[in-house]
Amino acid sequence: MAQERPLPSVVQRMWGREPVSRRGPRPRLDLATITDAAIGIADAQGLAGVSMAAVASRVGVAATALYRYVDSKEDLLTAMADGVVPPPPEPDGTPWRDYLARWTRIQRDLLLEHAWLLSVARLVPPLGPRRLLWLDRALTALDGTGLDPGEKINVVTSLTGYALTDAALVHGLTGGDPQMEGAAISGAADYGEVLAGLVDPETYPSLTAVMSTGVLGGAEGWVDDGDFTFGLDLLLDGVEALIGRKG
């Protein structure tokens, strides 16, 4: 029924299971070295700078040598997406709401710091050791809430998604320039002004009404930190209501 597409071998290597080689010369590289080099390039020049040749030259081998460690460039991107992730904060008995708010915010900030992540398709489901550690700690924070396992998973998934969407939105509005966060859309005009030049009031009545209030404008608009907190609280209120129903 299910087609036989085995897990990419890069996943095994992400878990430190490099194959034991008895014959031949010792490997000069490992996956982590390659991944770190690729991440460095992506941080500096974006995903467009990450060619197999560029990564290879950074670690001092020929481009084709990388294929001893990853089956394809897509696998390299998968490994990068796990490799950028730092260890999660430890719950240590923090109230679930405080912990998950912090957990979500750090994830969003990470996405903005490494905006190329927003263009990596295979972020979900998590398969690498670092992303799964984040999942584990979020589940830990929900211990004692009375939620069943399926509910916990759904809560965590929703929060991950919120971090991702918010980061994508902020990135889109600021043009990816970190200096501009909280300011205007890239270019001379801000988002509200741009829309005003495009939208006609009869076809887009509600949007026109909202635009006229200025909330889509620059610094006071969609992008600032208050909006992140607002949407996050919306979600956490939903979770709290669910927990209340259980108790």
The answer to whether residue 185 forms part of the interface with its own copies (CB under 8 A) is: yes
DSSP 173-204: HHTT-GGGTTS--SSSS-HHHHHHTT--TTTS
Residues 35/79, Cβ–Cβ less than 8 Å: yes
DSSP character at residue 64: G
Tokens of 42: 């992506």
d(CA 157, CA 48): 29
- The tokens 């600032």 sit on which residue? 224
Task: Rule CB under 7 A: say whether 52 interacts with DNA.
Answer: yes
| Region near DNA per CB under 7 A, out of 6-14, 67-75, 168-176, 193-201 | 67-75
Residue numbers 59-118 binding its own copies by CB under 8 A: 118
Task: Kindly state whether residue 32 participates in binding DNA, applying the rule CB under 7 A.
Answer: no
Distance CA 243, CA 238 (A): 9
Radius of gyration of the chain (CA): 22
Q: Which does 180 bind (CB under 5 to 8 A by kind): DNA, its own copies, none?
A: its own copies
Given a contact cutoff of 8 angstroms between Cβ atoms, the answer to whether 228 and 108 are in contact is yes
Kindly report whether the peptide bond that precedes residue 8 is cis, defined as omega within 30 degrees of 0. no
Q: Does 198 engage in binding with its own copies (CB under 8 A)?
A: yes
Q: Is 139 in the site for its own copies (CB under 8 A)?
A: yes
In the bound state with its own copies, the residue whose beta carbon lies nearer, of 58 and 224, is 224
Indicate the residue among 2 and 7 with the shorter CB distance to DNA: 7
19 binds DNA (CB under 7 A): yes
- 65: partner contacted, choices its own copies, DNA, none (Cβ within 5-8 A by kind): DNA
Question: Quick one: 24 or 87, whose CB is closer to DNA?
Answer: 24
Distance between CA atoms of residues 55 and 39, nearest Å: 9
Instruction: Give the Cα-Cα-Cα angle 102, 162, 80 (nearest 5 degrees).
Output: 80
- Work out how close the CB of 118 gets to DNA at its nearest, in angstroms, rounded to a whole number: 18
Rule CB under 8 A: choose which of 109, 113, 177, 225 binds its own copies: 177
Query: Binding DNA by CB under 7 A: which of 29, 169, 189, 210?
Result: 29
Judged by beta carbon distances under 5 to 8 A according to partner kind, the member of its own copies, DNA, none in contact with residue 231 is its own copies
* Residues at the contact surface with DNA, assessed by CB under 7 A: 19, 21-29, 50-54, 56, 60-65, 67-68, 72-74
